[in-house]
Structure 1
Amino acid sequence: MPVIDTQATGINIKNMIKARGFKIADVQRRCGFNTPQAIFKWMRGDAVPTIDNMVIIAEMFGVTIDEIIVVKMI
């Protein structure tokens, strides 16, 4: 059964932020968060972005949602 690999997805998000020259604050502002805590949770793999936020960061990074999410089989 396919499931989202939250750890690998978080690493992917972290690498995309860095590779594209964004700061955590840039993602925070674009997603409308008051604090960066949710983004840190994504990067640690403790949580994944909601669909709405996934659409926002995919557009921000110039990728598709499929390029952000890492799926594993269990």
Structure 2
Amino acid sequence: MENTKIIQKPVVDLVATGKNIKKLRHGSGFSVRDLQFIFGFEYPQAIYAWESGKNIPSIDNLLVLAQLFNVNVESIVITNQIEIEVREPLVLMKTA
């Protein structure tokens, strides 16, 4: 018989995260062009893709956004929690 437990697994909400990035960008006074220059992107489409929820920034870029917006990464990324059932690992006891 397997021992299982229910845990809460965070799942990134891409659309909500994108809207949040846009809101934080506006609130910080940055334009899309500003971010394009800061990240060294040839075109602004990457920023628009983040803000529309089509893509999410890499971890490195999230860290930069957090610095620019003066927030922590957890304040940028919006997650939903889903319940999943996981099997607890077996503990083997060493006998003498």
Q: TM-score range by the shorter chain?
A: over 0.9
Structure number with the higher strand fraction is 2
**Residue 49 of structure 1: SS of its match in structure 2?**
coil
Distance in 2, Cα, partners of 1:43 & 1:71: 15
Name the structure 2 match of 1:61: 69
Deviation per residue, 1:15-62 (Å, 9 max, x gap): 011111110011111111111111100000001000111111111111
Distance in 2, Cα, partners of 1:56 & 1:34: 18
1:51 aligned residue (49, 55, 59)? 59
Corresponding letter in the other structure for 1:34: E
Query: 1:30, 1:56 within 8 Å by CA — same for their partners in 2?
Result: no
How many residues were matched structurally?
74
Identity of matched residues, %: 41
2:19 aligned residue (7, 11, 14)? 11
**Residue 63 of structure 1: SS of its match in structure 2?**
coil
**Residue 35 of structure 1: SS of its match in structure 2?**
coil
Name the structure 2 match of 1:73: 81
Runs of 5+ consecutive residues of structure 2 not aligned to the other structure:
1-8, 83-96
TM-score, normalised on structure 2?
Answer: 0.73
**Residue 14 of structure 1: SS of its match in structure 2?**
helix
Structure number with the higher helix fraction is 1
Name the structure 2 match of 1:30: 38
Which 4+ runs in 1 deviate beyond 2 A?
Answer: none
